[in-house]
A and B are shown apart, each in its own frame.
Chain A
């Protein structure tokens, strides 16, 4: 790690660099939302608020307000949890993997990826508490925790991942916060105070940059195994049981590959919003970025396709007793429309479209990415619920309502609320912090830390 070099400043002349730096600050420091942004925030607040109201009702009445029963004892809360964990993997993909591979175009999108990761993993943690029958006993996990339980493994890796992700978001953000502190003079007092507090007295000294860059390098190495383990362990919550559809040694790799795919799609969707709705952001997130991310999405989708083939084709060749019922239900039964839609619109069509250059233009790629995200949400539903409806023993002597699973309005509302909450975290971040890392873009353009120190640290 000692070979982290100061970027060569000779490639660009100093006055040029200063002008560029001021332009960067002009373009990329957070600005007040327009009418569209405000409406978006209000919409999210309403959805999240309704979710909170529904959760209060759940706290009062217990999980009976959900559509779950003794057979489908895990419902959309759990599938939504898996979705959140999946999408949060993108942080490690874009930040760490592209960093370690020394991919030059990563600078403008790393922070977006990291914010998505942090927001998603936060709400993964929250939604799992929502699923608990006794959230008032959450301290029992610490009092009586058993290391033998995959749930405890999951808690450990999720907390570790959240910590590293927060650091990977926060440390590279320090210069950005200091720019906000020094440059945004026309903002409310609390906002100034927040920047002053969060910037930890950052002074843009080249030594400081050196420390941050070294920390990023260490964190990027650390986060890769942790990222792989969060989703692998999440898959083990299912794969460590006997149930047909979950009893699979393919599950870890299948989950991780799916997570990378939906994560890449999440970043593409975010990129498009920034590209399309934020003035001058298209100077930084360019068509080239969409093209590259599109290629990455195809690669990740092909890997996911490979694991899907392993997951479904091999058991359906054998059609083993209990698994056969479950597979028939997916392929041609009640869940067939959902299953085939998800596989075709969420995986096959994206591969076929994005593999062509025209498909990697911003708008088509955004549409495809949205399809991948929606498909990925329902894919998690298909992983969790149909299996629960196919136990070893026949489903007899149970109330009619438990023979099927249909989430209730309150359950949908809580789930939608959690998704809106995660989007709110991302939205507020974009409102108050530079979502495109100014110093990393400057570095990419060949502006030295010395110039930043000398010209951005006035006032």
Chain B
């Protein structure tokens, strides 16, 4: 079975991956342009205003405020409701490759400023029946096409975008937690207390695409990292996985990549008997799983184990 991957890799990887990134870059470019136009029309920005910023090597420099690029931080709430035009994002999680390295989780926690007790991405130890073999199952938000959480929200704080992503506007959420009760995958977390988020400017601009700054009394969850997608980059969990478990891509283009190899989504699902978790509920998730068959690693129930980082 793994030969198919190699085949696909040989034939498709280079041009398609570049394609994905190129389109992503285009989308990001559009977003920046959009933000720029907004500034022009609102007329609030004074040209030539200087601001001090700290560079990566620790030097304080003064730059023109207009030269600052905010596209890394997600777009404002109104724009964030629209989705990235022309996209329909999809994730495929290959259970046969997961060895519980938890690099995905670590990257997710770090980039979303999450404390230990809040995990947007969990890695479950699954065993379907007493006689069957256990396996690891990473589970982000499944970004359902018929999301039960969105259906029950009384204030339209959680919404489904045209690109398939389900997001939360933490500035609108009233904290009723009906979405948490409605989600059959337990994907949602709540800020029970004032979020502990070191390194985040709590007075800074909020975007539903980053969920930062996080807000007390509101619900949050895995967001497929739309701020990364706008820049043409992969979600943090996908790029952090050392074993290539996560594929991410665009359903419209039928292309997905795990960072190392780029494959046709439909082909991979067909060849490896992909399925969606709890299909019977009719929620139509955007996350597909490949069965834990022909596993690359023996199952070891040791979460503390130092995982080997795959050589590139």
| Interaction A to B | yes
Hey, which bits of chain A sit against chain B, CB under 8 A? Answer: 61-64, 66, 68-71, 73-74, 131-134, 137-138, 140-141, 143-146, 148-152, 155, 237-238, 240-243, 388, 391-399, 402
**What residues of A have a CB within 8 angstroms of the CB of B194 in the complex?**
61-62
B174 near A242 with CB under 8 A, answer: no
A379 vs B203: C-alpha distance when bound (angstroms)? 44
B178 near A237 with CB under 8 A, answer: yes
B278 near A392 with CB under 8 A, answer: yes
B8-16, B153-161, B229-237 - interface stretch: B153-161
Hey, which bits of chain B sit against chain A, CB under 8 A? Answer: 117-119, 122-126, 139, 148, 151-157, 172-178, 180-182, 184-186, 188-194, 216-219, 278, 281
**What residues of B have a CB within 8 angstroms of the CB of A388 in the complex?**
181
A145 near B217 with CB under 8 A, answer: no
B192 contacts which of A64, A74, A137, A152 (Cβ < 8 Å)? A64
Interface centre among A137, A143, A148, A150 (most CB of B within 10 A): A137
A70 vs B157: C-alpha distance when bound (angstroms)? 18
**What residues of A have a CB within 8 angstroms of the CB of B148 in the complex?**
241-242
A138, chain B: closest CB distance, angstroms: 7
B174 near A149 with CB under 8 A, answer: no
**What residues of B have a CB within 8 angstroms of the CB of A396 in the complex?**
122, 124-125
A419 vs B184: C-alpha distance when bound (angstroms)? 32
A69-B192, A148-B151 as given contacts; A131 in contact with B124, CB under 8 Å: no
A132 contacts which of B151, B174, B180 (Cβ < 8 Å)? B174
A243 near B181 with CB under 8 A, answer: yes
A240 vs B181: C-alpha distance when bound (angstroms)? 10
Interface centre among B117, B180, B185, B217 (most CB of A within 10 A): B217
A145 vs B152: C-alpha distance when bound (angstroms)? 11
A298, chain B: closest CB distance, angstroms: 35
A70-B190, A133-B190, A140-B174 as given contacts; A151 in contact with B154, CB under 8 Å: yes
**What residues of B have a CB within 8 angstroms of the CB of A397 in the complex?**
119, 122-124
A62 near B217 with CB under 8 A, answer: yes
**What residues of B have a CB within 8 angstroms of the CB of A143 in the complex?**
155
B181 near A137 with CB under 8 A, answer: no
B176 contacts which of A69, A71, A132, A395 (Cβ < 8 Å)? A132
**What residues of B have a CB within 8 angstroms of the CB of A74 in the complex?**
177, 181
A150 vs B181: C-alpha distance when bound (angstroms)? 13
**What residues of A have a CB within 8 angstroms of the CB of B181 in the complex?**
73-74, 237-238, 241, 243, 388
A240 near B124 with CB under 8 A, answer: no
A73 near B190 with CB under 8 A, answer: yes
A-B contact list, 16 entries, CB within 8 Å: A63-B193, A70-B186, A73-B190, A133-B174, A133-B190, A137-B175, A140-B172, A141-B155, A146-B153, A150-B152, A242-B182, A388-B181, A392-B185, A394-B126, A395-B186, A397-B124
A247, chain B: closest CB distance, angstroms: 10
- Look across to chain B and name the residue whose beta carbon is closest to the beta carbon of A70: B189
**What residues of B have a CB within 8 angstroms of the CB of A64 in the complex?**
192-193
- Look across to chain A and name the residue whose beta carbon is closest to the beta carbon of B184: A242
B177 near A133 with CB under 8 A, answer: yes
**What residues of A have a CB within 8 angstroms of the CB of B185 in the complex?**
392-393
**What residues of B have a CB within 8 angstroms of the CB of A150 in the complex?**
152, 178
- Look across to chain B and name the residue whose beta carbon is closest to the beta carbon of A242: B184
A70 near B153 with CB under 8 A, answer: no
**What residues of B have a CB within 8 angstroms of the CB of A149 in the complex?**
151-154, 178
A393 near B178 with CB under 8 A, answer: no
A262, chain B: closest CB distance, angstroms: 23
A73 near B153 with CB under 8 A, answer: no
B212, chain A: closest CB distance, angstroms: 18
**What residues of B have a CB within 8 angstroms of the CB of A395 in the complex?**
186
| Chain B, interface SS category | loop
Interface centre among B125, B155, B194 (most CB of A within 10 A): B155
**What residues of A have a CB within 8 angstroms of the CB of B156 in the complex?**
144, 146
A121 vs B123: C-alpha distance when bound (angstroms)? 43
**What residues of A have a CB within 8 angstroms of the CB of B216 in the complex?**
62, 133
A147 vs B216: C-alpha distance when bound (angstroms)? 26
B155 near A62 with CB under 8 A, answer: no
A137 vs B154: C-alpha distance when bound (angstroms)? 12
**What residues of A have a CB within 8 angstroms of the CB of B154 in the complex?**
141, 145-146, 149, 151-152, 155
A73 near B177 with CB under 8 A, answer: yes
A63 near B192 with CB under 8 A, answer: yes
A241 vs B281: C-alpha distance when bound (angstroms)? 11
A393 near B218 with CB under 8 A, answer: no
**What residues of A have a CB within 8 angstroms of the CB of B191 in the complex?**
62, 133
B151 near A134 with CB under 8 A, answer: no
A25, chain B: closest CB distance, angstroms: 48
Closest A-B pairs by Cβ, 3 of them: A133-B175, A133-B217, A64-B193
B155 near A242 with CB under 8 A, answer: no
B186 near A137 with CB under 8 A, answer: no
A132-B175, A392-B185 as given contacts; A62 in contact with B125, CB under 8 Å: no
A138 vs B172: C-alpha distance when bound (angstroms)? 10
A74 vs B188: C-alpha distance when bound (angstroms)? 13
- Look across to chain A and name the residue whose beta carbon is closest to the beta carbon of B170: A134
B126 near A133 with CB under 8 A, answer: no
**What residues of A have a CB within 8 angstroms of the CB of B175 in the complex?**
63, 132-134, 137
A64-B192, A146-B154 as given contacts; A141 in contact with B174, CB under 8 Å: yes
Other than A137-B172, A146-B154, A242-B148, give 14 A-B pairs with Cβ distance below 8 A: A62-B216, A70-B118, A133-B190, A133-B218, A140-B157, A141-B155, A143-B155, A149-B151, A151-B176, A152-B154, A237-B178, A241-B152, A394-B126, A397-B122
A345 vs B161: C-alpha distance when bound (angstroms)? 51
A68 near B192 with CB under 8 A, answer: yes
A70 vs B122: C-alpha distance when bound (angstroms)? 13
A64 vs B188: C-alpha distance when bound (angstroms)? 16
A350, chain B: closest CB distance, angstroms: 31
**What residues of B have a CB within 8 angstroms of the CB of A402 in the complex?**
117
- Look across to chain B and name the residue whose beta carbon is closest to the beta carbon of A237: B178
**What residues of B have a CB within 8 angstroms of the CB of A131 in the complex?**
176
**What residues of B have a CB within 8 angstroms of the CB of A391 in the complex?**
184, 186
A152 vs B153: C-alpha distance when bound (angstroms)? 9
**What residues of A have a CB within 8 angstroms of the CB of B180 in the complex?**
70, 73
A238, chain B: closest CB distance, angstroms: 8
B174 contacts which of A70, A137, A393 (Cβ < 8 Å)? A137
**What residues of B have a CB within 8 angstroms of the CB of A132 in the complex?**
174-176, 217
B190 near A399 with CB under 8 A, answer: no
A61 vs B194: C-alpha distance when bound (angstroms)? 7
- Look across to chain A and name the residue whose beta carbon is closest to the beta carbon of B118: A70
**What residues of A have a CB within 8 angstroms of the CB of B123 in the complex?**
397
